[in-house]
Amino acid sequence: MTRSTQSTNWISYILRSVVLGLLVAALVIWLQPLVADWQLSRQQSSQPMSFAKAVNRAAPAVVNIYSLSEVRGSYYSRRPSTVLRLGSGVIMDNVGHIITAAHVVANVSSIEIALQDGRRTSAQVIGVDPITDLAVLRIELDNLPVIPQDQNLRSSVGDVVLAIGNPLNLGQTITQGIISATGGRMGVINTHADLMQMDAVINEGASGGALVNSEGYLVGINNAQFRGPAGQGVEGIYFAVPYSLTRTIMKTLIEEGEVVRGYLGINTSDTPAAQVYQQPGIFVTAVDPNSPAAEAGLRAEDYIVEIAGQQISSATEGLALISNTAPGTELEIRYLRGNDEITTTVIIRKLRY
């Protein structure tokens, strides 16, 4: 072997070694993030599930509400007595607007707000909407914690939720559950609001508090526990006003002081007429005397299939359409009465609370 051949072999060996070294180095660099992620996932998998991040983000914005109301005297004592009412609320913006349940602050003489940082202050009622059982309060404080919100948030059945409030004045408490229905629960607790159903426990004093997801974002305002015919609470069935509806009602109350809704004057049901008529619609179970519906000739057991040219698929949809119609508007209603199809015109009035 000549000296030149040896030199060539030696150079090739060095080049191969360098290329191999570079390949190994590149492989190590490429694998390093994957190894780090794997190590992190192992560490996380060894940790118990926790919602501490969500609670830390949302809980400071949930306040305790203490309101005083007077109860008229009885036969034994003519002097009125003062009753302390408990509730919770949620700070929605940095100018001091708080959303809560309307029944927490209805017909009260004074309202005191207690923040989680120890501050206490009085509150002013900006507006109340009995239909959704929501009320907006205002406090005058600086550096307020605001509940995390996402206007594009969409909740789904099965989502984990946390209810934050002050039940029985025990102090801020968190209960956990899942969403079992995101809507279609109108009228279940004496309200026409389209409610969200979940099983995170809400006891007295927690009404008006926050329902948040596992990231701490607001998904609803806690309302009440479902009660059976005897007035007894049913375990595991609780309701909240969805965030999207809450935001709309709050904006209207702040800007206009009240929520104006259309009134037709019917009680409704989806069944059993839907099976009889074999098409979606609204079964009228009762008609209010002297209401727009009564003046238009509607009766109990009529089956409404179209309002203002729009086919109605459910009672929820139909009532929402009426509610969003301005008072004074004329609407054409098509309905079935036995084998007859009838069309009438109603003039929508303002819903009185």
Active site residues: 103, 133, 207
Q: What is the 3-state secondary structure (H, E, C) of 261-315?
A: CEECCEEEECCCHHHHHCCCCEEEEEECCCCHHHHCCCCCCCEEEEECCEECCCH
Cα separation, 60 vs 51, whole angstroms:
15
Name residues whose C-beta falls within 8 Å of residue 320's C-beta, 6 or more positions apart in sequence.
194
Q: Which of 281, 284, 296 is nearest to 331 (CA)?
A: 296
**If you ran DSSP here, which 8-state letter would residue 326 be given?**
P
**Helix, strand and coil percent figures for the chain, each rounded to 5:** 25, 35, 40
Please, how many CA atoms are within 13 Å of residue 201, restricted to the half-sphere of its CB?
A: 10
Q: Compute CA 170 distance to the chain's CA centroid, rounded to the nearest angstrom.
A: 24
Q: Show the tokens assigned to 275.
A: 């099976």
